[in-house]
Amino acid sequence: MKIAFVGSAFLETGMTYQEQYATVAKAGYEYNPYNADFPGFWKRPKYTIDEVKWHAKAIKDAGLKIASLTTGFRIQVPDEFMRKYAVECWKKMFDLGEAMGVTVFNTELEPGRGNPELCEAKLMTSLDELVPIMERRGLRMDIQAHPDDFYEHNNDAYDIIRYYNSPSLAYLYSCPHTFHYDGGKGNIEKNLKYARKHLKHVLFADTYDYTKLFRYNINPSKLYADGTVRCHAHIGKLGEGDIDFDRIFKTLREIGFNEQDDTIATFNPLGFPERAIEDGIWARELIEKNLVGVPDIKEPEPEGYGIYAR
């Protein structure tokens, strides 16, 4: 298991790339899922080979390695021209990743709550083309459901990964999305164990339960009440929000997530870059305490595709 610090914490801070990488290293991390302005999201990556080499060298000079490359393209959109364009963007991103020595990418399902069935059909049409390419090239894409994506629930998102059953397609569980994964129930054990077969990546940050009154204040409030606005946080100090991390760590140990060489545990704070080192050290030590060198409590994998039925 690799422990990483995602670079999105430093977006729009004015920090140089070297300063961002130095901060991650100072917090004691070995891996950095690359997620700065370069290469970017949603538009075709525009870069020169010299830029790629420069970033790879800067990360190496900071004493870091890249665990995964965070990006995303609209391969789920109903518009067929844009969907095909997004597929080509992913192919370009594969080339960029390989030039930087990266074989793992992580991304989101992307929006489309108004028409989830069509978005699923478009996404799977795109994956029908991309998965064989990744398999041939030894690449992997870790996909998460994000609030306001066409599927927000854990099981709906994972079922797409399960369908392909490919080493090149894995599931990403984002802790700060926990309450969106099942409509506010927060059933951590059930969600993680349902996806255990293909779970390769977990994002760590805390959040508030959006179903609780006044956890978030949105105006006009009716947009929050009727679900038009989706709210969640990425609190760097694990334990400050409503997530029960003891349950998360215990379940991850039960499914053997921490015993696999190809899994990634990523610290993913947002909003408080001035606390990056302090919170980063806290999170790393907590992850190490609960997932590195701990007694084995792995449960045998049940027959069938999941321990829980839908």
Q: Contact at 8 Å (CB) between 141 and 130?
A: yes
- Note the pLDDT of residue 226: 86
Instruction: Record the tokens describing residue 8, joined without a space.
Output: 């999105």
Predicted pLDDT at 35: 64
Provide the pairing of β-strand 199-204 with 169-174. Answer: parallel
DSSP 3-state percent helix, strand, coil across the chain (nearest 5): 45, 15, 45
Phi, psi of 143 (to 5 degrees): -115, 135
CA distance 272 to 127: 35
Concatenated DSSP letters of 209-246: -TTSTTSS--SSHHHHHTTSS-----BSSTTSSS--HH
Q: What is the mean pLDDT of each run of 10 residues along the chain (310 residues)?
A: 90 87 94 72 82 89 93 95 96 91 94 96 98 98 95 97 97 96 93 96 96 89 86 94 96 95 95 92 97 81 61
Sign, CA torsion 28/34/37/41? negative
Which of these, 208, 158, 154, 142, lies nearest to 6 by C-alpha position?
142
Look at residue 45 in the predicted model and tell me its pLDDT: 81
Q: Is 265 helix (H, G, I), strand (E, B) or coil?
A: strand
* pLDDT tens profile 42-75: 888 888 888 888 888 999 999 999 999 989 999 9
Report cis status (omega within 30 of 0) of the bond before 39: yes
